[in-house]
């Protein structure tokens, strides 16, 4: 177990970290139209690179992802629901579909299919999720998910 010291204004805070990576892992949501690339295709492929992102905010989210972090897999336009959980298998690198160094990809592996898909209508209907990026920033293809939002969606999916 490692000990870290954080210094605040006029005080010292000590945090014992048993597994630093677990405590610092962010949660994400990635979107794909099922007719373009579906959850079932990810399961069949076992791993894929998330390419073709051409939005700076989404690109910045890809850049921030760390190996082992989890992401909800969301079917957009058709189905409009969260259907599974993927895991970051490889951190960002140059998008091989372009020579422009501004664009990145991340590799994902399927972790598990949700017991029950969670629809966008259900998410929008839950007041606790009113500030979720999926509700506020509907067109963003790679989004952050707060820990409490993650837990609520898992409950809605019958996972907890």
Give the pLDDT confidence score for residue 2 in this predicted structure.
Answer: 39
Contacts for 82 with CB less than 8 Å, ≥ 6 apart = 29, 72, 73, 74, 75, 114, 117, 118, 123, 153, 157
Residue 123 tokens read as 């998410």
CA 136 to chain CA mean position, Å: 16
Q: Does residue 16 lie within any of the structural domains?
A: no
Q: What percentage of residues in the chain have a pLDDT greater than 90?
A: 84
| Res. 71: pLDDT tops 70 | yes
Give the pLDDT confidence score for residue 54 in this predicted structure.
Answer: 96
Q: How many domains does the chain have?
A: 1
Q: Decide: 88 and 131 in contact? Cβ < 8 Å.
A: no
Q: What is the mean pLDDT of the chain?
A: 89
Give the pLDDT confidence score for residue 160 in this predicted structure.
Answer: 81
| Res. 9: pLDDT tops 90 | no
Q: Does residue 33 lie within any of the structural domains?
A: yes
- 120-155: pLDDT as tens digits: 999 999 999 999 999 999 899 999 999 999 999 999
Give the pLDDT confidence score for residue 4 in this predicted structure.
Answer: 41
The helix or strand, by DSSP H or E, that contains position 36, with its residue range, turns out to be none
Distance CA 144, CA 147 (A): 10
CA 90 to chain CA mean position, Å: 14
Tokens 């610092």 belong to residue: 24
Q: What percentage of residues in the chain have a pLDDT greater than 70?
A: 85
| Res. 16: pLDDT tops 60 | no
Give the pLDDT confidence score for residue 130 in this predicted structure.
Answer: 97
Q: Does residue 42 lie within any of the structural domains?
A: yes
Q: Does residue 11 lie within any of the structural domains?
A: no
pLDDT band at 13 (very low <50, low <70, confident <90, very high): very low
Residues of the domain holding 87: 26-156
User: CATH number for the domain including 110?
Assistant: 3.10.590.10
């Amino acid at each position: 177990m490692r000990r870290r010291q954080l210094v605040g204004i006029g005080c010292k805070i000590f945090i014992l970290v048993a597994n630093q990576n677990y405590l610092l892992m962010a949660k994400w949501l990635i979107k794909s139209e099922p007719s373009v690339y579906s959850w079932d295709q990810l399961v069949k492929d076992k791993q894929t690179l998330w390419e073709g992102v051409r939005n700076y905010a989404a690109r910045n989210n890809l850049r921030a992802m760390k190996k082992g972090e989890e992401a909800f897999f969301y079917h957009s336009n058709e189905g409009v629901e969260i259907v599974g959980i993927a895991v970051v298998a490889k951190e960002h690198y140059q998008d091989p579909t372009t020579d422009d160094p501004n664009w990145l990809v991340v590799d994902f592996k399927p972790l598990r299919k949700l017991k029950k898909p969670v629809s966008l209508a259900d998410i929008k209907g839950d007041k606790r999720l009113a500030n979720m990026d999926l509700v506020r920033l509907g067109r963003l293809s790679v989004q952050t998910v707060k820990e409490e939002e993650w837990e609520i969606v898992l409950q809605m999916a019958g996972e907890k």
